Structure 1
Amino acid sequence: MDKLRVFIIQFWILFFALATSEELKASKKLYVKNNTNKDSVFLLIDYLQAAKSDTLEIRVSNYMMGSTVLGNDTRYNEVKDKKGLYRFSFPVRSKFGYFTIYAKRKDLSRNGIEPMMALVYPQLWKSGDSITIKVSHKETIGGIFSICDFQGKGAHKYNVLEAIKQNKVFNVLDDISLTEDLSFSKLPTIIKELLTTYKIDSINDETLINDLWYEPRRLYLASLINKPIDRIDFDRYKQLYVLLKNQSFTLSERSIISRGFISYLFERIRFIQKFGPDKKDLFNSIIEYSDGRIRELLLVYYFQNGALRKTDLSMEVRAAQNIIRDTLIRTFLKPFAHQISGSSWPDYKLISANGDSLCLSSFNNNIIVMDFWYTGCGYCSIFYQNVLSKIKQEYRNHKELTFISISRDNKFDVWKKSIASGLYTSKEIVNLYSNGLGGKHPIFLDNAISVFPFVIILNKNRIVEQVNSPPLYTLEGMRSELNKILK
């Protein structure tokens, strides 16, 4: 069944690549503006599937690892001009960074699907770039596939990454097995050919070269880490473990800001942690197997990847605050500081089911159980049905206890239907809405809430008692925590 799925996905990729490459060639030639401002980047985008009213969004990062690590992205939205093109000109505060192009999905038929999709995945920009992008995409059963053509000042960077995405490098990994190649000896020749073809300068484009060099390795390690246990050759994995553990790096400032490089180091530590003899958790493995600024960036990477970090972060956030010295990197930890027991929870204004504005401070002098969820989240529904609804009923006579349900939904009617369905919440709970902002509402952004469900318990002074700890997801655990606070 897996082989059939892979075949279907590969068929769609090949079919779409052939069809859209011809479509891109046939599209009109665009005028590329000469950007004379070295402190900005200019993008002219021809999105072939865009409807007249469609909006494009550019998310721009100015710092090091971009949105992949620091999350300090600035968002710009544009509609088509009279020529049917999207024009973006945005200021930049550093020499390098990454941008991602987002568009509204055409197919929203599945429940819970994110309304925005990444048309162009993070691209390395350089201050002064002036780029024309022709982009075509298709949503298929295999996923979202885009093909781009880049022209203009700095276009070589984007075209070489597009060549990689179109299987010019990654397909080599299909031929690499642990029994053949632990050191990726087949990759350098192919990468060197790409550097020559696209006239990549080893000095001026060092960040890009690091992306090229390490991204295939990152993908390869990730595939090994995620292999089913019955398909793992542990003797060969041990050899790779020794190779990775003894690996050393020559670092420069441009190495550090490379997404590919930092992502590879993170997967390297994940592999060492999972298959090494020392059974440390991932957080402590990062501390042991890295140092300096690399360690600081990897810790931030760890916190941002919600699927990999623990649910209870109190001890880890405190430890990271003592380790991280870089002022800019420390700013990323601020949202996580609200996830430490004993911290004061900010006040926020949201919308009630009646359409009225309501602040959390309205419930001062009450113990608050907040449940964050979104429509289509299976685990959110399971948690509500099996734990929260029963706890609500069990503690119905405790007037000092308030249950608040906060949805990340960005459509009011979808949210109201979910309340009525009883799958995620009920009309007896205080239901609050983000007023159409979804995950962009400050209550999500300020507190690094990106995994769902997410549960927080505040005491009567709006001080954090518990944040998303594992006991909260069981009847016994939730009951025990509430009884401690209610005493």
Structure 2
Amino acid sequence: MEKSMIIICLLFLSYQLGFSRSNKKYNETIINVKIIDKNLDKTKVPVIILQTSECAFGGVEFIKSMNSNYEQVAVKEGNVFSISSSSDVFYMRIYYAGQKVPGGSYYWIDNIYIIKSGSDLSIYLDNANVRFSGEASVIPNIQSQIIKYSYKTSESQRKLLNDKEYLPYFQELDKSLDSALQLQLGVIESNKTILGDYYVKLLTANCYGYRYYSQLRAYNFELMQNELYFKTFKKYYNEKIKVRIIPEFTNDLLDASPMFTNFLIEEFLIVDRIGHEEYGPMLPDSCIRNILKKINTNHSGILRDKLLTLFALHTNRNENALPFFDEILFNVKNKKYNNLLINKIDVKRNNIPFKDFNLENETGEIYTLSSFNKKVIVLDFWFTGCENCAVLNEAMKPIVKYFSSNPQIQFVSVSIDKSKKQWLKSVHLGNYTHSEGINLYTNGEGSNHDLINYYNITNYPTVFVIKDGAMYSSLPPRPSPNTKPGQELSENALRLIELLEKAMKF
């Protein structure tokens, strides 16, 4: 009897964990999502979004690697999602837009859940919690417990940063992140028996990755625009951060950790910035070359391939990085990562035929790629409320004026607004587009439109230059409304004009 009970308990535990690692063909994963938000505004329609990837990435790189984006308007009885996967686990981000944009840390872009393929799960959502039940629910439930203790920026830290008290800010941030890490490791320790050795190590790696990625990402953003911050941080990094102690993890664990490799990439970027005294917004090619050399020299196998892929995704909006993508693609041997690079980055190469589209303008007239035969197209993507899109529109005005009498150049703006009424209003106001251009609409599909997904557009505004139906430049110079004294156009505006004139001639 006692032996039978032990077997039954083991079978139940296996059912709940559900994370045996095998090479079988996987069935659809069925996920039933239910909203239990007591504060839900009944006059507004809540939306549930599940984003999935077979690559263990965090942050923006997860969005860039997505296999699928499932979106449904929430209904009372629950929303059923059927998710396909070709591996034993996949990675999932949950987004719930209810009464307002979620304020809870569970919906942050860095919180990626590990889900067993072929399982049957129920998920319960509100603005402050994510809870799982059913087959293979143990791991994601423990992840939710870990996320509960995620670091949150305090008002005192914001004040120190605003007051340019950088050293006290670094010290307080370190203390807060260390405190959050210890609480998260405590969750893993209290669940180590049910987790097993592999997932104890994997989730531990992820916690350390999240702790240092959060820190370095916050620093990296400021380093790009603030020289005083840069100098203070360089000293603090060499004296404090550089000497920290982090446990060692195997390559297969780091390949399966969404956050640890993101931290490694962020540190590569930080170290090269402070080593080369580069605090501008765009890394020079010398830094890019040095980072690639470090990855290829210090790492091997699947971890090297993952880091190279992450770096390519991270820098794919940096024009200085474009010449290195062929080298990265050649060096990445893992099929999963190689295919990802081909699908997500290769389509943006120059001289590759541009994807055809079928989009309407304000009056309902349909435009396709062939509508612009023998023209050079400056194609930008925007949405209402995008501040940087409005800034770019202002900066583009003198360029549009410069080419206003030239029939070879056509300016085309594509909106991802979901509301057609809002799009038409924004076009009329002229804050994001100019009257001389052609305005096109993605028919309410927004970021789910085929064209947006094909080019993996996650940052706005995004600008492409197209010539003869092919990509001419996926990273044209982006003009700025700010000019030096005595200049009518910014340096990048002049470079963009030069690029367009060259496109017309050759």
- TM-score under structure 2 normalisation? 0.72
Residues 289 and 393 of structure 1: is their aligned pair in 2 closer, same or farther, counting only changes over 3 Å?
same
Residues 230 and 458 of structure 1: is their aligned pair in 2 closer, same or farther, counting only changes over 3 Å?
closer
Counterpart residue number, 1:159: 141
Residues 243 and 90 of structure 1: is their aligned pair in 2 closer, same or farther, counting only changes over 3 Å?
same
Residues 177 and 352 of structure 1: is their aligned pair in 2 closer, same or farther, counting only changes over 3 Å?
closer
- Deviation of 1:421 after TM superposition, in Å, equals 0.8
Equivalent positions of 1:48-63 (< 5 A) are: 48-49=36-37, 51=42, 54-63=46-55
Counterpart residue number, 2:475: 468
Counterpart residue number, 1:316: 324
Equivalent positions of 1:299-314 (< 5 A) are: 299-305=308-314, 309-311=317-319, 313-314=321-322
Once the two structures are overlaid, the 10-residue window that deviates more, 353-362 or 319-328, is: 319-328
Tell me if the contact between 1:372 and 1:455 (Cα under 8 Å) persists in the aligned partners. Answer: yes
Query: 1:156-186 CA distances to partner (integer Å, 9 max, x unpaired)?
Result: 3233322332227889xx999769989x998
Residues 455 and 90 of structure 1: is their aligned pair in 2 closer, same or farther, counting only changes over 3 Å?
closer
Residues 290 and 249 of structure 1: is their aligned pair in 2 closer, same or farther, counting only changes over 3 Å?
farther
Equivalent positions of 1:153-232 (< 5 A) are: 153-167=135-149, 193-198=186-191, 199-203=194-198, 206-226=201-221, 230=228, 232=232
Counterpart residue number, 1:23: none
Select which of 492, 497, 501 maps to 1:479.
497
Equivalent positions of 1:400-419 (< 5 A) are: 400-419=408-427
Equivalent positions of 1:85-96 (< 5 A) are: 85-96=78-89
- Deviation of 1:342 after TM superposition, in Å, equals 2.9
Residues 441 and 303 of structure 1: is their aligned pair in 2 closer, same or farther, counting only changes over 3 Å?
farther
- Deviation of 1:262 after TM superposition, in Å, equals 1.4
Equivalent positions of 1:197-346 (< 5 A) are: 197-198=190-191, 199-203=194-198, 206-226=201-221, 230=228, 232=232, 234-240=234-240, 243=243, 249-276=248-275, 281=284, 283-291=288-296, 292=300, 293-305=302-314, 309-311=317-319, 313-334=321-342, 335-346=344-355
Letter of the 2:198 counterpart: I
Structure number having the greater strand percentage: 1
Matched residue SS, 1:409:
coil
Counterpart residue number, 1:124: 114
Letter of the 1:465 counterpart: Y
Counterpart residue number, 1:47: 35
Residues 407 and 341 of structure 1: is their aligned pair in 2 closer, same or farther, counting only changes over 3 Å?
same
Matched residue SS, 2:455:
coil
- TM-score under structure 1 normalisation? 0.75
Structure number having the greater helix percentage: 2
- Deviation of 1:48 after TM superposition, in Å, equals 2.0
Residues 353 and 239 of structure 1: is their aligned pair in 2 closer, same or farther, counting only changes over 3 Å?
same
Select which of 83, 94, 99 maps to 1:101.
94
Query: 1:28-79 CA distances to partner (integer Å, 9 max, x unpaired)?
Result: xxxxx99999745443433123659644232222344387176232233456
Letter of the 1:71 counterpart: S
Q: Alignment length, in residue pairs?
A: 432
Inter-partner Cα distance in structure 2 for 1:267 and 1:157: 27
Tell me if the contact between 2:55 and 2:65 (Cα under 8 Å) persists in the aligned partners. Answer: no
Inter-partner Cα distance in structure 2 for 1:176 and 1:273: 22
- Deviation of 1:80 after TM superposition, in Å, equals 5.6
Correspondence 1:395 to 2:403: yes
Residues 375 and 268 of structure 1: is their aligned pair in 2 closer, same or farther, counting only changes over 3 Å?
same
Matched residue SS, 1:203:
helix
Tell me if the contact between 1:241 and 1:272 (Cα under 8 Å) persists in the aligned partners. Answer: no
- Deviation of 1:416 after TM superposition, in Å, equals 1.0
Tell me if the contact between 1:64 and 1:257 (Cα under 8 Å) persists in the aligned partners. Answer: yes
Correspondence 1:150 to 2:132: yes
Letter of the 2:68 counterpart: T
Tell me if the contact between 1:211 and 1:260 (Cα under 8 Å) persists in the aligned partners. Answer: yes
Query: 1:266-287 CA distances to partner (integer Å, 9 max, x unpaired)?
Result: 2221232223358675533431
Residues 88 and 120 of structure 1: is their aligned pair in 2 closer, same or farther, counting only changes over 3 Å?
farther
- Aligned CA RMSD, in angstroms, stands at 3.9
Counterpart residue number, 1:446: 454
Matched residue SS, 1:290:
helix
Residues 373 and 57 of structure 1: is their aligned pair in 2 closer, same or farther, counting only changes over 3 Å?
closer
Matched residue SS, 2:377:
strand
Residues 105 and 361 of structure 1: is their aligned pair in 2 closer, same or farther, counting only changes over 3 Å?
farther
Letter of the 1:147 counterpart: N
Letter of the 1:360 counterpart: L
- Deviation of 1:319 after TM superposition, in Å, equals 2.8
- Deviation of 1:480 after TM superposition, in Å, equals 1.9
Matched residue SS, 1:259:
coil
Structure 1: runs of 5 or more not aligned: 1-32, 109-116, 138-145
**What is the percent sequence identity of the aligned residues?**
18
Tell me if the contact between 2:420 and 2:443 (Cα under 8 Å) persists in the aligned partners. Answer: yes
Inter-partner Cα distance in structure 2 for 1:315 and 1:483: 22
Inter-partner Cα distance in structure 1 for 2:247 and 2:399: 52
Inter-partner Cα distance in structure 2 for 1:294 and 1:338: 24
Inter-partner Cα distance in structure 1 for 2:110 and 2:288: 31
Tell me if the contact between 1:35 and 1:41 (Cα under 8 Å) persists in the aligned partners. Answer: no
- Deviation of 1:256 after TM superposition, in Å, equals 0.6
Equivalent positions of 1:421-436 (< 5 A) are: 421-436=429-444
Correspondence 1:457 to 2:452: no
Query: 1:371-430 CA distances to partner (integer Å, 9 max, x unpaired)?
Result: 22222222222222232x322233222222222122222221111111111222233311
